[in-house]
């Protein structure tokens, strides 16, 4: 019997490599003769690089870059020499997790460190960069990244703008001559499931800026800045619009990547499944176990467990969902998964539930494995 573990992280409690480790330990107790394949998964957000490395793909590469406020921070990405691919998370350099709550201010935060990560990947010889853009602390449209790549952002007097989304209203022109240092042959694939446009009621400022520390007074400043940024990019012939799916992701970094580096938006879950070789591992498999921290009907619409289950089902492999919590009707989930389980064993406050997450996961996984063992007797 060959069993594949391909879970997402249980956000707020357990990263996907550890989820795999717990599942493996639990199942091995009940099915010691089975073959187990551990494939930690992610959707392009935090934990993507860790998942790739845990799956035995690539080498960890660390580099000192600027954090969202311009301070030095050690960021990292995975580099796969055999395919000349770099896999990175913008959050490693420009993420919200690098700031304290008091430091969160999208008027000031910048994606400069993300640009530095891209340059380091180029220096290593990457021919393709896969970048996850979840967890950003920024609403600068990718302007900081542009500056790090050699662009000059100038006001009406020809002076360089400061970093951050708060000054984009003052942008009058964009000098792209320095961008020649970037190898345009490098393919950029953006792992992102956010579909928001750059501006408007569903844009980067209106929807995501408050999560990054923006006050009500900051929102119109950020919105006007992004509108101006988009207009300048259009005037310079880099794009024809700012309403493509994903333009508003990561505070508009999605647009910046598309305009300046001709990046292509793709499903983060599908990209990671491709990188870890899930389709190949499914050959000859008996069962796949996936999971996430919390499941509801929205999981069916492109979230990682549903993507993994679809790939398994296409290969004729049944998929079991083992989630930290399952909310709402389960009939839609049963269309994707052959069985659905929650790890919760009792109703408790959130802090106690998270503290017991590992124990609950192990216990429920072992119960599933024991059921399989009993079924094999008949």
pLDDT of residue 154 exceeding 80 = yes
Residue 61 has a pLDDT of 96
Alpha-carbon torsion (49, 54, 55, 59), positive or negative: positive
Domain regions of the chain by residue span: 2-41+277-375, 48-268
User: Measuring CA to CA, how many Å separate 36 from each of 20, 305, 306?
Assistant: 10, 18, 21
Residue 132 has a pLDDT of 94
Residue 44 has a pLDDT of 81
Confidence of residue 297 (pLDDT cuts 50, 70, 90): confident
Could you give phi then psi for residue 104, rounded to 5 degrees? -70, 115
> What pTM, to 2 d.p., does this model score?
0.86
Widest CA span in the chain: 81
Which CATH number is 48-268's, of 3.40.190.10, 3.90.1510.10, 3.30.450.80, 3.40.50.1000?
3.90.1510.10
CATH topology of domain 2-41+277-375: Rossmann fold (3.40.50)
Tens-place pLDDT, residues 179-224? 999 999 999 999 987 889 999 999 999 999 999 999 999 999 999 9
Residue 62 has a pLDDT of 96
114-133 average pLDDT score: 97
Per-residue DSSP letters for 217-271?
Answer: THHHHHHHHHHHHHHHHHHTTS-S-S-STTTTHHHHHHHHHHHHH--EEE-HHHH
pLDDT of residue 94 exceeding 80 = yes
Mean pLDDT of the chain: 93
Residue 12 has a pLDDT of 74
Two structure tokens written together for 252: 């508009």
Two structure tokens written together for 175: 């000098």
Residue 289 has a pLDDT of 97
Two structure tokens written together for 139: 């609403």
- Please measure the distance between the N-terminal and C-terminal CA atoms of the chain and give it in whole angstroms: 15
Tens-place pLDDT, residues 324-335? 989 988 899 999
Count of H-run helices and E-run strands, the chain: 13, 13
Comparing C-alpha atoms, which of 54, 34, 30 is closest to residue 287?
34
| Higher per-residue pLDDT: 309 or 302 | 309
Contacts of 351 (CB under 8 A, 6+ apart): none
Comparing C-alpha atoms, which of 5, 72, 15 is closest to residue 39?
5
32-47 average pLDDT score: 90
Residue 166 has a pLDDT of 96
């Amino acid at each position: 019997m060959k069993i594949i573990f391909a879970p997402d992280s249980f956000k707020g409690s357990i990263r996907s490599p550890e989820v795999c480790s717990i599942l493996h330990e639990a199942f091995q107790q009940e099915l010691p003769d089975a073959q187990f394949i551990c494939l930690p998964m992610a959707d392009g957000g935090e934990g993507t690089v860790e998942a790739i490395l845990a799956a035995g793909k690539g080498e960890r590469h660390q580099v000192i870059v600027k954090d969202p406020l311009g301070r030095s921070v050690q960021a990292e990405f995975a580099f796969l020499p055999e395919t000349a691919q770099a896999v990175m998370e913008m959050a490693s350099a420009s993420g919200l997790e690098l700031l304290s709550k008091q430091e969160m201010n999208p008027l000031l935060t910048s994606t400069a460190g993300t640009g530095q990560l891209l340059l380091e990947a180029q220096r290593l010889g990457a021919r393709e960069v896969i970048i996850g853009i979840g967890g950003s602390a920024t609403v600068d449209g990718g302007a900081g990244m542009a500056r790090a790549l050699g662009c000059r952002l100038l006001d009406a007097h020809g002076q360089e703008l400061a970093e951050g989304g708060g000054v984009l209203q003052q942008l009058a022109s964009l000098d792209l001559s320095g961008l020649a240092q970037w190898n345009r042959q490098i393919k950029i694939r953006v792992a992102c499931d956010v579909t928001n446009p750059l501006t408007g009621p569903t844009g980067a400022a209106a929807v995501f800026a408050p999560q990054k520390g923006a006050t009500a007074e900051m929102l119109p400043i950020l919105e006007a800045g992004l509108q101006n940024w988009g207009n300048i990019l259009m005037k310079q012939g880099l794009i024809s619009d700012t309403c493509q799916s994903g333009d508003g992701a990561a505070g508009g970094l999605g647009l910046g990547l598309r305009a300046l580096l001709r990046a292509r938006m793709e499903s983060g879950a599908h990209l990671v499944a491709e990188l870890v070789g899930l389709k190949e591992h499914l050959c000859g498999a008996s069962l796949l176990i996936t999971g996430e921290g919390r499941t509801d009907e929205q999981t069916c619409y492109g979230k990682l467990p549903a993507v993994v289950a679809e790939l398994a089902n296409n290969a004729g492999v049944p998929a079991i969902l083992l989630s930290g919590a399952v909310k709402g009707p389960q009939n839609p989930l049963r269309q994707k998964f052959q069985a659905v389980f929650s790890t919760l064993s009792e109703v408790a406050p959130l802090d106690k539930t998270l503290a017991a997450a590992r124990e609950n996961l192990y216990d429920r996984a072992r119960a599933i494995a024991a059921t399989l063992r009993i079924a094999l007797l008949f």
